[in-house]
Amino acid sequence: MKMKAFIIRELEDQFVPILQKCVKFSELKKIHAYIIKSYLSQSNFLVTKMVDLCDILGDLEYAIKLFKQVDQPNIFLYNAILRSYTHKCVYSEAIAIYKQILRYPQPKTVAFPDKFTFPIVIKACAGLVYGNLGKQIHGHVIKYGPMSNTVLENSLMDMYTKCDDLVNAQKVFDEMVETDVVSWNTILFGYTRLGKMRRARAIFESMPKKTIVSWTTLISGYTRIGCYTDALDLFRQMQMVGLRPDEISIVSVLPACAHLGALELGKWIHIYSDKNGLLRKTFICNALIEMYAKCGSVDQAWELFCEMVHKDVISWSTMIAGFANHGRPREAIQLFAEMEKARVEPNSITFLGLLSACAHAGFLVEGIQYLDSMRRKYLIEPSVEHYGCIVDLLGRLGHLEQAVEFIRKMPVQPDSSIWGSLLSSCRTRGALDIAVIAMEHLVQLEPDDIGNYVLLSNIYADLGKWDCVSKIRKAIRSKRMKKTPGCSLIEVNNVVQEFVVGDDSNPFSDDIYCMLELLALQQNRDGSISKTYLEDILSAEFESQS
């Protein structure tokens, strides 16, 4: 018996170097044929090697066939097929395989979960967002052990964070005997993912070693919740400590640049990406195009778009939206025609930009045609945002009764943005009856939004109905509603300054208001300011500071 086992082992060892040199699927099939001829088709050792090779070559189907041909798979073979399933994101089948391991007692499968099995299965639970199942697997880990395994514990934390269970994720982290960089980054990601930035910042500051992943995780967390200034500050701090931005950190900070109008930093990122060969990546270019468009530099966005070698649907959609949002609707429509010629399938975002362009330009016929082609030609069901563009379009053209009829016939429930758009159009046209209809719906949808009351009050004021204006103002006071103060942002010397209406806490407030008064005095009838006068003021200011 021992001699037979020795001979089998010798034969198996002969196939190992052959399998290691295999780089093509056709070669693997030939090797498999020789293994069958050598009566080694039931060898767990060789089949595991072949399943791993299938995983590398990307052929899950053949890996499954290999696995199913073995009558008594051991844990190594089970782990190999589990890895193959999870690498292809076929998580449900991975869970089924794990259940198979537990279902049959030995010696049916001669398999038992080990420290390599659990991280794979836990990853499958995370992929499916099966928190309860993940807790059961955690129980198996405690039962079968070993628990003090950093890779295993990191997997558990990752699963809990993706299932939004920070309590158990923190508990696993706190009970770890030894933590590594992955442990810290995982718990940091959990808090940033749920927008708990104070706690995330505290964890970040206490980290023994901060990697580019740590900085990027925190930056993206700030960007996600709209704390764009904090994201930019952190990005600059990262550079000051000597870390070079990678593609993920760049994509994380560019939305902050776009929202704050930090064009200079955005340009620097563009140059940096170009020098480091990152512009070959489509998603980097897409993020830069969006940044340029939102910062008002549509021509630079277009220049980058034209230079792109590989354009995906996001590239086209972003550029179409850029043209639409900056009053260049004909270019947006022309670009969509080129997109269709390039046979790039549009998505709902593409049509949102396109319909927005039609709304701004007053292209009613084209707008209706595009809305219809969404459903008929591309089988995309329009959302409330798409219908909102048509309502806005009808309102801009003064077709308010048609807009009301269109809203009533919509297959989706109209939201506050649609009724708000109609209310805004009513002020332009002085349509009080329709304004009242829109307001009735807005009161139900947004009872505490003061902006709607102010808008209706302005409509009454324009029509000279001051008693109605007085009633609305009393309603505002009785509900104790307060208007959110307006604010503006400007980038000066790579620092973003924020100005809020009525806030004089800025140390340069007196100088700013003095400058505004001087500009107001010299304002021309058309609203412009003399260039010569601006130059005189600025030169005088520089002389006083020097």
Instruction: Report how far residue 419's alpha carbon sits from residue 426's, in angstroms, rounded to the nearest whole number.
Output: 10
pLDDT at 490: 61
The structure tokens 């070993």 sit at 146
CA atoms within 13 A on the CB side of 75: 14
At 305-326, the pLDDT tens digits run 999 999 999 999 999 999 999 9
Can you tell me which residue has the tokens 């549009």?
346
pLDDT digits (tens, 9 = 90+) for 489-515: 565 555 556 666 556 666 667 777 777
Would you call 499 helix, strand, or coil by DSSP? strand
Return the CATH architecture of domain 385-486: Alpha Horseshoe (1.25)
Burial 472-497 (b: 16+ CB within 10 A, else e): beeebeeeeeeeeeeeeeebeeeebe
Q: Check if the beta carbon of residue 166 is closer than 8 Å to that of residue 194.
A: yes
pLDDT tier, 542 (very low <50, low <70, confident <90, very high otherwise): very low
Q: Which residues contact 308 (CB under 8 A, 6 or more apart)?
A: 282, 285, 315
> Do 73 and 100 form a contact (C-beta atoms < 8 A)?
no
Residue 452 near residue 446 (C-beta atoms within 8 A): yes
Question: Is the pLDDT score of 545 beyond 70?
Answer: no
The span from the CA of 224 to the CA of 221, in Å, is 5
DSSP letters of 99-141?
Answer: HHHHHSPTTSS-----TTHHHHHHHHHHHHT-HHHHHHHHHHH
3 state SS for 506-518: CCCHHHHHHHHHH
* Model pLDDT, residue 300: 96
pLDDT of residue 186: 96
**How many other β-carbons are positioned within 10 Å of the β-carbon of residue 92?**
12
* 526 pLDDT higher than 80: no
Q: Are 501 and 272 in contact (CB under 8 A)?
A: no
- Binning pLDDT at 50, 70 and 90, where does residue 94 land? very high
pLDDT of residue 506: 64
In this model, does residue 483 exceed pLDDT 60?
A: no
Model confidence pLDDT, tens digit, residues 12-21: 777 878 888 8
> Per-residue pLDDT tens for 249-284?
999 999 999 999 899 999 999 999 999 999 999 999
What pTM value is reported for the model?
0.78
Residue 80: pLDDT above 80?
Answer: yes
Distance (Å, whole) CA 513 – CA 520: 10
Residue 120 pLDDT exceeds 50: yes
Of residues 370 and 529, the one with the higher pLDDT is: 370
Q: What is the pLDDT of residue 113?
A: 84
Summarised one tens digit per residue, pLDDT across range 136-168 is: 999 988 887 766 789 999 999 999 999 999 999
CB environment 434-464: b (16+ within 10 A), e (fewer):
bbebbbebbbebbeebeebbebbbebbeeee
Partners of 499 in the β-ladder: 488
pLDDT at 443: 79
Record the tokens describing residue 261, joined without a space.
């109008």
Q: Which residue has the tokens 């880990």?
A: 141
> Please, is 212 exposed, middle or buried when counting C-beta atoms within 10 Å of its C-beta (0-12, 13-18, 19+)?
middle
DSSP secondary-structure letter at 327?
Answer: T
pLDDT, tens digit (0-9, with 9 covering 90-100), for 380-433: 999 999 999 999 999 999 899 999 999 999 999 998 889 888 888 887 777 888
Instruction: Give the residue among 349, 340, 341 at the shortest CA–CA distance from 286.
Output: 349
Distance CA 524, CA 519 (A): 10
How far is residue 258's CA from residue 265's CA, in Å, rounded to a whole number? 10
Distance of CA 3 to the CA centre of its chain: 61
Burial of 344 (0-12, 13-18, 19+ CB in 10 A): middle
Residue spans of beta strands (DSSP E) within 408-468: none
**What per-residue confidence (pLDDT) applies to 461?**
81
Identify the bridge partners of residue 490 per DSSP, sorted by sequence position: 497
pLDDT computed for residue 546 by the predictor: 46
The candidate with the shortest Cα–Cα distance to 257, out of 226, 291, 288, is 291
Taking the C-alpha atoms of residue 243 and residue 215, their distance in angstroms, rounded to an integer, is 9
